[in-house]
Each structure stands twice: as structure tokens, then as C-alpha cells.
Amino acid sequence: MQDIQTQEDIYKVVDEFYKKLFADERISYIFTDVIPVDQKLEEHLQMLVKFWSQAILGTGGYFNNMTQIHLDVHNKSALSKELFTIWLEHFEAAINENFEGFNGERMKNMAHNLSTIMQIKIAQNK
């Protein structure tokens, strides 16, 4: 298996990842009912590609405030520790099933770290 090297590779990861999220009813409601990203899925996937491409490939162009975006989601419907665990499981599986190597490991580590940061911000926000 190859490492993640291009924006097409990142698209493959986020596309497979979102298929898993939508197929899991423990978390899918967030993406269909709370924030219906299923209605603008291509746009959303492109935003995720922009974010991960900047983080992993150093391409630039992502300027949004990720923490605030997730605080806003949380204020509509609680983002529990369990939801973060489910999110991370599917994210890791989407990478492990398709790629192998340094950049894949970096993406998984970064997702873990951001998940922790988001949960701390959510706890502080109460």
C-alpha cells in the first residue's frame, strides 16, 4: 500500500471516512439532522481536503476557525467523548484500509490531538 501523497489521496480518505460516518447511526444524525452536510457533501469534502492538504502537504488556503466551528456544532447538539471516539475510529479505519506510511500516521496523530483540544475547549465552554 502507498502513503498519502496527493490531494486526490486525501479526497479518497475523506470520501471513505464520510461513507463510514453516514453508515453509523450512532453519529450520522450530526451530519444529516444537526448540520445537514449531506446536502452539500461535495463542498464539505472539498473543505476537508483543503484542511488536510494544508496540514499534511503544506499547500495552504485553509483559514477557518476549526475549534469555533465545532463549538457551534456542540451548542446545537452535544459532542460527547463517545462521539469523538467513534469519529476517530472511522477516521483511522478510512486511512488504514487505503494507505500506509508516514503521512497517514501524521494525519491520525493530528486528528487525535485536535480531538483532545476540541474536547478541552468544549469542557471550558460550559
* Residues of the shown chain interacting with ligand HEM in the complex, contacts defined by CB under 6 A: 30-31, 35, 37, 47-48, 51, 64, 66, 69-70, 73, 79, 83-84, 87, 111, 114-115, 118
**Binding residue per annotation — 70?**
yes
Kindly write down the DSSP assignment for every residue of the chain, as one continuous string. Answer: -PPP-SHHHHHHHHHHHHHHHHH-TTTHHIIIIIS-GGGGHHHHHHHHHHHHIIIII--------HHHHHHHHHHHS---HHHHHHHHHHHHHHHHTT--SHHHHHHHHHHHHHHHHHHHHHHHH-
* Shortest CB 31 distance to ligand HEM, Å: 6
* Shortest CB 60 distance to ligand HEM, Å: 14
* Shortest CB 114 distance to ligand HEM, Å: 4
> Which residue lies nearer to ligand HEM by CB, 34 or 98?
34
> Which residue lies nearer to ligand HEM by CB, 5 or 64?
64
Place of cell 506510511: 101
> Which residue lies nearer to ligand HEM by CB, 6 or 68?
68
Give binding residues for heme as ranges: 70
